[in-house]
Chain A
């Protein structure tokens, strides 16, 4: 039957993150006058990621880590069905998709966090760079510029996998991520929207504290 597979907060999170990651990559490459936008975009990404971590604990069923993070055995069993070109159906993330969520959230969290301490030695500094030692800032900057390519690799892998499912295996994954509806035997339990609003507000407040209040603390 046709049910709501992805709730609205998860879908908004996904597409906002996709847009901001592309925007961050572009502004980071353009540099100079675009750097203030690069920083703002990074703060928004950090807030989105904090929200996703919270939503992975208190959110709707398909958004919860406890539901989609699976072990090696489930992953390899699923990989075999994928290799046989008939991937086992899953409501929400399949086991490999679950690993991709962890990798993507982890890599982006590292990217956003190191960005807070980074310094490009031109005129752009992360908001917390002043508070850290010179060695820390150098290390964070180096991780920030190397990890960027890990993120690019994950995005390419993600988009390629979706393209294979969508057009070679004829499994519609893009549609459900847009309108939320997909085929499933049981309807996943949905968390209330107000809870998403609270999680989003707390995440935004935490990032505001990190980038605007903490650096000015005496």
Chain B
């Protein structure tokens, strides 16, 4: 039997990761624009901690998904729509991992070790290297711009499903909603 709803665990993962990602996108963008100061460095540390948290939660979510598959897409969807839905979800997962990984490598290449919550040092894979750091900075930036773009498409698609196609795609991912 295929499930018609996401599991409560999947719903919890979805909304916590969504909130952390939205916050960290804005927070990162804001911190980049600050003039150099001790506060800016502290903010970057927070930014990295949240990024690591997202990485861990997204990994757990993916593991959970292996054993609790997502409910099937509505049968009324055209093949290209179903394909677009799958591609955008795969893309989102790739970006969830690519964003923190490039952030971590960029941080190492810039000579800043990441210490999770100020207590757990994350090993540096890369030595300090100015040229590499510049490449990784650009990569980290564009990966996050791409993620923001896919998130906009994701949210717009959810609203289209709910209000135009009038199916249950949005509701089955909402917390606290009664199931028929």
Contacts and interface: CB of A to CB of B under 8 A. Distances in A.
Given A83-B171, A83-B177, A145 B33 contact: yes
Interface of B (DSSP majority class): helix
A145 B177 CA distance: 38
Interface stretch (B5-13, B46-54, B128-136, B160-168): B160-168
Nearest to A167: B164
A85 B30 contact: no
A149 B23 CA distance: 13
A168 to B, nearest CB: 4
Interface residues of A, number: 10
- Which range holds the interface residue count of chain B? 10 to 19
B26 interface: yes
Contacts of B30: 146
B159 interface: yes
Given A83-B174, A149-B26, 16 more contacts: A83-B162, A83-B171, A83-B177, A85-B162, A85-B163, A85-B166, A142-B34, A145-B33, A146-B30, A149-B29, A160-B159, A164-B159, A164-B163, A168-B163, A168-B164, A169-B163
18 contacts: A83-B162, A83-B171, A83-B174, A83-B177, A85-B162, A85-B163, A85-B166, A142-B34, A145-B33, A146-B30, A149-B26, A149-B29, A160-B159, A164-B159, A164-B163, A168-B163, A168-B164, A169-B163
